[in-house]
Amino acid sequence: MLTLTCPVCGVTAEETEFHGGGEAHLKRFGPGATDDDLEGYLFMRENPRGVHFERWRHAYGCGKWFHAARCTTTLQVFGTYPAQTFEPPKEICDKISEARPGWSWRAFK
Amino acid sequence: MSEPITALAGAASETGIARIMELSLQGMITLRGDLASSAVQKAATGAAEVEMPGTNQANCVEDRGICWMSPDELLILCPYDMVAANIDKMTETLGNAHALAVNVSDARAAFRITGTQAREVLAKLCPVDLSLENFAPGMFRRTRMAQVPAAFWMTDAESFQLVCFRSQARYVFDLLSIAAQPGSGVNAYLT
């Protein structure tokens, strides 16, 4: 079972108290973007076996969105961090490097 | 004006491992805003006449209290007939602060679960660690109860007070009564 800690209210609960919000750190391409950028934004998603970054919402608790870094095969959670950021914080990347040396995910490694 | 009544007219379940009862009408005000701002804090403490609770805490005395719902939301408890007056008072205290105070008394149902095995009844229904060391009076928790959202806190070592949406009152009461049916004790939390 996936156990997450909400960085907003600090509550640790299993995944049914949360709601998954898909891939994290997407950059929006809207009007004026090229077709390729728009297609990538709309349809192209990572589907990794291993390290993954996701958005989650503490739906039954404080109701706030946050980010989570986790492993899709072991359900190990490397950490959760606030939604108001464009990239994972360094301490979380360090923690992932420790557990999964040589990992990469989109532009992050 | 029609007479206000609770969702289940004071339903109670007495025969199980914990006593479940629907509480009489409870005044509830949702206050949203920046909890660090003094106007919001004054509005909350002025209406409930208790101190501000910390994160994930509830500060309740009888039918008055403040519950921490989220980083920008408080649930103010007060007597049912005081709600309108309290909202007027709060709106005045809030002044120009970017905040909202709204009466949700009739949108909610409230229950009390009492007994030495009250912890077990809730632990069967919620993904919450309700062990003695991890959940104690003063703490407040919003969570999922089987299929619906609920929030609860402890009023003493053997009593929980729980709020849920009024439209789900019958479902919640049935859930609690079934989780508390006689002979269903797990004795996980007995000291």
Q: Which residue segments constitute the domains of chain B, with CATH numbers given?
A: 12-179 (3.30.1360.120)
Instruction: Establish if A106 belongs to a structural domain.
Output: no
Range of the domain at A10: 3-99
Instruction: Round to whole Å and give the CA distance between B181 and B17.
Output: 6
Which is nearest to B118 in space by CA: B69, B169, B177?
A: B177
Residue B77 Cα distances to B22, B35, B41, angstroms: 16, 17, 14
Instruction: Establish if A107 belongs to a structural domain.
Output: no
* pLDDT tens digits along A45-60: 999 999 999 999 999 9
Q: How many residues does chain B have?
A: 191
State the best of B72, B126, B144, B153 to mutate against chain A, taking most chain A CBs within 10 Å. B144
> Which residue type, as a one-letter code, is found at position B124?
K
The CA dihedral of B52, B55, B61, B62, to the nearest 10 degrees, is: 130
Q: Which ipTM did the prediction report?
A: 0.89
- Report DSSP state, residue A99: H
Number of domains in chain A: 1
Report yes or no: B151 and B56 within 8 Å, Cβ to Cβ: no
* pLDDT tens digits along B102-132: 999 999 999 999 999 999 999 999 999 999 9
Q: Does B128 contact A at CB distance below 8 Å?
A: yes
Taking 70 as the threshold, does the pLDDT of residue A44 lie above it? yes
B128 and A60: CB-CB below 8 Å?
Answer: no
CATH number, domain of A55, equals 3.30.2270.10
State the best of B141, B152, B153 to mutate against chain A, taking most chain A CBs within 10 Å. B141
Q: Give the number of A-B residue pairs with CB atoms closer than 8 Å.
A: 35
Instruction: Establish if A51 belongs to a structural domain.
Output: yes
List, in order, residues 6 or more apart from A47 with CB less than 8 Å away.
Answer: none
Backbone dihedral region of A75: left (phi > 0), alpha (psi from -120 to 50 degrees) or beta?
Answer: left
Kindly give the residue spans of alpha helices, DSSP state H, lying in A1-109. 35-43, 90-99
* pLDDT tens digits along B46-97: 999 999 999 999 999 989 999 999 999 999 999 999 999 999 999 999 999 9
Report yes or no: B188 and B123 within 8 Å, Cβ to Cβ: yes
Nearest CB to A17: which of B55, B70, B127? B127
A13 and B56: CB-CB below 8 Å?
Answer: no
* pLDDT tens digits along A81-98: 999 999 999 999 999 999
Per-position DSSP letters for B102-155, written without gaps between them: EE-GGGEEEEEEESTTHHHHHHTTSSS---TTT--TTBEEEEEETTEEEEEEEE
Which is nearest to A45 in space by CA: A75, A23, A30?
A: A23
Q: Does A83 contact B at CB distance below 8 Å?
A: no
Q: B55 contacts in A (CB within 8 Å)?
A: 9-10
What 3-state DSSP class applies to B30? strand
Report yes or no: B138 and B90 within 8 Å, Cβ to Cβ: no
Q: Does A82 contact B at CB distance below 8 Å?
A: no
Instruction: Establish if A109 belongs to a structural domain.
Output: no
Q: What is the band of B191 on the pLDDT scale with cuts at 50, 70, 90?
A: low
Instruction: Establish if A26 belongs to a structural domain.
Output: yes
Report yes or no: B18 and B65 within 8 Å, Cβ to Cβ: no
**In chain A, positions 22-81, which contact chain B (CB-CB < 8 Å)?**
60-64
